[in-house]
Structure formats: structure tokens, C-alpha cells
Structure 1
Amino acid sequence: MAAEPESDANYQMNQQPSKDDDSVPVTWENFPRAQLHKEMETFAEWGGFSEFYHFRTLIPLDKQVETLPNRDTLYSIGVFDLTEPVTITKPDTGDRYQSMIVLNEDQYVKMFEYGPGEYTLTQDEIGTRYAAVLVRTFVDPNDPDDVETAHGLQDGLTVSQGSVGTLEIPNWDSQSRDELFDAIVTIGKTMDDFRGACGDVDEVHPVKFLLQSVTTFGFPESEALYVPRIPDQNDGETPHILTVEDVPVNGFWSITVYNSDWYLEENEYDAYVVNNVTAEQADDGSVMVHFGGDPDQPNFIYTPEEWNYVIRLYQPHEEIIDGSYQFPESQPVE
């Protein structure tokens, strides 16, 4: 588990109450901003204001500030005050997957990059005073050499800015935000996939955008497609299997199991995810995923009561984007 973050001398947070010194009500219209502000405050407290805070392990379970976190990549998170422009330099990662997504305060995707280079963020281009940046770096957590390499690529992320500014966010009403959060999660489970849920303001479906705003940092489907599934027999006792053969992606695919609230649920097996890079494959290259049942089976994932899973398809081909390719469904073991 990552060490607890130290306080950041650059971080100053000033909450801005309304005229009557009351908290600001959260409605469906401002929920995406209120939710991201909550997370931005947490990232800043960890040390991710004006610089990146790096998770050196797959996300610890006690730091799930967003729903549906992945367990395939290391997170590097930063919040930046764009009163002055900031330049982020991204390293050359070769064939290793590393993506950078930039959100404005309303959770619209303003930049998405894979390649090395310098990327300058300005308030005019991002559209809000603050930008939230998440870099995902693929890692094989079972290979110490691979972990060391991934850490080096995280450290290759650099930030340059004349003045770092301060973090000044409204004093959002937590009760109305939490009530909306729970309602949105409930409705969001009815989505078949996240097409049209993530992107810039002119690229998203407004309802699906609101439903995904509890997760934050979601991908446009051109970069990764999320496919949530809830098995009928998700009692946590009925084993399921799913066999995956050739998947048309340039990146990788993964399957992650969550509890009924869309969070990772701690288990004694530390078994949350299977992806095609680290999975045990059959002679024909296929991967059989075991949901529940015997934990000694290859590619086992623990299933809590009322479990669900999310398929992630990174850098998908056109047949995934247009829906002509369908990922296989899990089946109960009789």
C-alpha cells in the first residue's frame, strides 16, 4: 500500500461560501463540478496540487475517491490552477500504455494524449480556472522489474509553471451532493455501455454524461470503452465463467469486479481484476476468467454479494466503437 501522502507546502485551499455564509446546494445541473471539486480537494490534500501525486501501487482500497477505479494501471494525479499556464512534459514510454487525460472543472475532457512531449494547459483552452489531470501507466504488479520501470515513467512526468496559485472551491453542500451521488449510481447501473458518456461538451449525451460523472476521468469511447455488466445470479455464491478470445484493441482489455456501490471490495485473495497482459492463457491464446468459485483456479476474481463487473477495452478498433463486435457475457457454472 502506498505511503500516506505528506502535506504539500504549495497547497492552499480556500472554500468560498455563498452570500449568507451557507453551503452551496448541489443539483443535477452542477453535480459534475461539485463531485470533481470534492475529489480535487482530496488530491490536493495528498500532495497533488501544482504537481503530480503518484500511486506507486495499484490503487489502495482506502483511497477509492471515485467509483469504478481500475486495477491495471498506476495513477498519477494533479490539480492545476491555470491563472498562469502550466506545461506538462510526458516521457517516451515505448510500447507501454500510458495515457494522460485532462478535465476541466465541469468534467469535460479537454485533452487526451499518449505520446511524449510538452503539453501546455491554459485557462482559455481548458475553459475553467482549474484543470484535473490523470495519467495512467500500465504495470504488471507481480513483476518487480516491471514495477520499477513503471515508477521511472511516472517520475518522467514533469511540471513547469511560473506561479502555482491556490485552490479556491465553493463550500458545496455535502448532503445534497451525497444524495445525488447515490441516486446517480443507482440509475447508472442501467447503462449498457459508456458510449457518449465521456468527452467534451459537444461530444457527449447529456444524460449519460451525468450518469458517468460519479466515476470521473472516464474515457471517450474512441480511447477506451467501458462495458458494465450485472449478472442475474450475482449472489456471490454462484460461480461464473467467461472465455475471451481475440479482442480488437491496440491497447489491452481488462475485467474488474465491483460491489453493489461500484467500489472494489476487499478480499483475502487480493483478486479484483484480470487483463490479457497478465492473465494465464490457454494454448490457443484464449483466457478463461473465473468469477468466484475455487480461488486456486487461474484468472480467479472474488465476487461479493450483488457483484457486477466492468469490461475495459483500451484503444479499441472501429468494430468495438460502432458496436459490431460484442464482448462475451459471463455464464453461471451449473
Structure 2
Amino acid sequence: MAALNKPTLEMNSMKKSLLASALTLVAFSVTAAVEVTKENYSTAMFDMGMTVEANNGARQDWHHHRAPIALDKQPAPMMNRDTLYSFVIADAQSDIKVTIPEMDGRYVSVQVMNHNHETAQMFYGAGEHIIKADETTDYIAFYARTQMNASSPEDIAKANGFQDQMSFEYVDSSYQPEIYKDGVWDMDSFKKIHQHYVELAGEKGILHTMSDLERGVIVSQEATNRGVSVATGLLPDAHAQYINTDYHLDASKCYVATHDVPPQADTKLGFYSITIYDEDIYLATDEHSIITNSDITLNDDNTFTVYYGNTETCGDVANLLHVPTNEFTTTMRVYLPDVEAMNHYQVGELTEVN
């Protein structure tokens, strides 16, 4: 095998796709209203991201994403195909109870994000969870993530069944909520601020950019702005970490890399995956676009070997990711990581299969 240069772990290639996603956000408002500043940018990003979900039915009730994201309906780059999302955008001026059903051992989490784009609480597994009105902002978003196998219709159907059993209600059943209204932001000022932080995210990455209020982790507004420029609702470091790797290779060839199993704080609740994206950081194929620990074939030494190419160039191999373009990006997602150990973790180096 011929060794290749080790790929960078920086996020520079995300700039062009994230700037393109910023143009999509412009459509949310044509009327100048609140000026976007460094002080309110994270709130503006919350409003813009949640407007989509609210308009799809997530105001005061669960809106479930029932299937892996369709290739022709990707709203942003770097979409996730290892979990199904469920959202509620809620008035939080009265105590709320969220109930998650018993499952079959798969990962499920509920992230409670306040209007300042900070993670106020995280819940794992089945049970009733209470969100106190005096511990958060007037409006909050619930992000539920339910693990699924994107290549298995049967497993997706099981995950949908679990989604249907989620419930949302007020502890005081007589409470009349004030329905969330879409924020109206000045898009000219937004674009300037957004571009600035997208560029910073490309230079510095997104580690240590999400506040985790339950754990007493509060990052600066500057750090928050850098993180939210990439995506709405990123999980804090203790709950998930994301390793983005850019490659510039020949898509007509086959490559291989051996990775260590990423360190996890809880191997029963957490999991990990690798997703492959095209040159614009969008999903390009339905098959072989993601591998997860539930279907990865491990080596005897707690590593796993991944092939990058296609069935013609690599043959019938385990752990295959289809390379869509000469320039591509992979994202390793590690849910419930061992934070300290992840500081020293590196993905394996790709080499060409001769």
C-alpha cells in the first residue's frame, strides 16, 4: 500500500458549505427588524433553526423526523444519519414533564436548549423528566435523538414506534401556554456576523463551544457564536464530540484506514459512527454513507478497518464507505465520549489499496 499524506482534522472545508447554508437562512425574513450583533447572534441562530421545526409542527408538541434525511431534502451540510430527531419548541414559563419510553437498549437522549443557545439539561434513557420554569428561559427547544440503522427499514420502524411513545405535557394541566412566535431578524447584519463566525469555526474548530449548564460549564459568548455558526443544537463536549477530516484523493481508487475504537464514558448508553460527505459536505449516496458501532466489524485488537471507495474498487468488504468525489469529508461522531481520552484521540491514516 502506498502511504498518503495524513488528512487535516481542521474544519476549513466547511466554510463554503456553511456560507451556502447562511444564504438559505436569508429566506426566513425579508423585513428588517432586530439588528443581529455579537451579543444576540446565538439567539438569532436558535430562532432561525427552530422556525423550520416549529413550522413543521413542533410548536407545543413533538414533531418527529420519521426517516433518515432524503438526499434531495438536505437543509444544511453535514446532516446526521445515525439518529432520528424529534423536536418540541415550548413555552417554558410553567414546569414541563417529558416522558421517554422503555426501549431496546438503543441510544436515546433529550437535549433541553434555552433561548440563548445553551444546553440547560440532558436526559438519557427511559423515564419522566421535569424541566423547572425557574431554571430556564421563557422558550426552550427539546431535541430528542433516537439511534437507528439507516439501512434497515425494520429498525427504522422500531425507532418510529419509540418516537410515538414520547410525551410532552405541563405539570399544571390548566396552564395555557404562550405559543412560540418566529423571531424576525435583520438579515443584512446577520450575514456579516454569521460569515465572521463561520470563518472562525473553520480556523479553530468547534471543540469547547457549547455551554453545559447542568455541569457548570459556561463558555464565552465568542465561543458560543463560533459553535452555533456550524449548526443549531450541537451537543456539549461531555455528551458528543465530532471529528471532521478532509481528504483530497482519487475517487476511482480504493483506500483503507484502521481506527482505534473511540473512547467512551458509557459504552452501554453511547455509540459512535462515521459518515462520509461529498466535496460540499452533503450526503451523496443512500447506501454506504455511514457506518456505526452496531454494524461495524471489529478487529481482535479493539480497532476497526474501514474501506473508502466503492464495491467495484474495493470489492465485497466490511465497513465500506462510498467515496462520492475526489474531495470529501468524513465526520466521526462519538456520543457520550471519554472527554479526557478524546483529547488524545486521532483517526487512522488512509492508504491506497494496490
Query: TM-score by structure 2 length?
Result: 0.76
SS at 1:230's partner residue?
strand
| Counterpart check, 1:111 vs 2:112 | no
| Counterpart check, 1:174 vs 2:174 | no
Query: Counterparts of 1:285 and 1:317 in 2: how far apart (Å)?
Result: 16
Query: Please, which runs of 5 or more residues in structure 2 have no aligned partner?
Result: 1-27
Q: Equivalent residues in 2 for 1:253-332 (5 A)? A: 253-259=272-278, 263-267=281-285, 270-281=287-298, 286-292=303-309, 294=313, 297-298=317-318, 299-304=320-325, 306-321=327-342, 323-324=343-344, 326-332=345-351
Q: How many residues align?
A: 310
| Residue number in structure 1 paired with 2:4 | none
Deviates more, 1:51-60 or 1:300-309: 300-309
Identity of aligned residues (%): 25
| Residue number in structure 2 paired with 1:52 | 62
Q: Deviations over 1:169-217 (max 9, x none)?
A: 431123432444344333312335x431112364325443222103121
- 2:123 maps to amino acid: E
Query: Counterparts of 2:314 and 2:115 in 1: how far apart (Å)?
Result: 42
Q: 2:226 aligns with which of 211, 214, 221?
A: 211
- 2:201 maps to amino acid: G
| Residue number in structure 1 paired with 2:163 | 154
- 1:209 maps to amino acid: T
Q: Please tell me whether the aligned partners of residues 271 and 336 of structure 2 are also in contact (alpha carbons under 8 angstroms).
A: yes
Q: Please tell me whether the aligned partners of residues 59 and 69 of structure 1 are also in contact (alpha carbons under 8 angstroms).
A: yes
| Residue number in structure 1 paired with 2:90 | 80
Q: 1:259 to 1:207 in 2, by over 3 A?
A: farther
Q: 1:26 to 1:332 in 2, by over 3 A?
A: farther
- 1:313 maps to amino acid: V
Query: Counterparts of 1:132 and 1:66 in 2: how far apart (Å)?
Result: 19
Q: Deviations over 1:248-284 (max 9, x none)?
A: 22122111233455x42334x5442222212344576
SS at 2:334's partner residue?
strand
Q: 2:243 aligns with which of 195, 209, 227?
A: 227
Query: Counterparts of 1:41 and 1:246 in 2: how far apart (Å)?
Result: 37
Q: Please tell me whether the aligned partners of residues 69 and 79 of structure 2 are also in contact (alpha carbons under 8 angstroms).
A: yes
* Runs of 4+ that moved beyond 6 A: none
Q: Please tell me whether the aligned partners of residues 224 and 315 of structure 1 are also in contact (alpha carbons under 8 angstroms).
A: yes
Q: Deviations over 1:94-145 (max 9, x none)?
A: 521001101111110001010322222344211x221011111111233343
Q: Equivalent residues in 2 for 1:90-129 (5 A)? A: 90-126=100-136, 128-129=137-138
Shift of 1:237: 6.0
Q: Please tell me whether the aligned partners of residues 151 and 287 of structure 2 are also in contact (alpha carbons under 8 angstroms).
A: no
- 1:39 maps to amino acid: G
Shift of 1:238: 6.7
Structure with higher RCO (Cα < 8 A, 6+ apart): 2
Query: TM-score by structure 1 length?
Result: 0.80
Query: Please, which runs of 5 or more residues in structure 1 have no aligned partner?
Result: 1-14
| Residue number in structure 1 paired with 2:203 | 190
Q: Please tell me whether the aligned partners of residues 103 and 131 of structure 1 are also in contact (alpha carbons under 8 angstroms).
A: yes
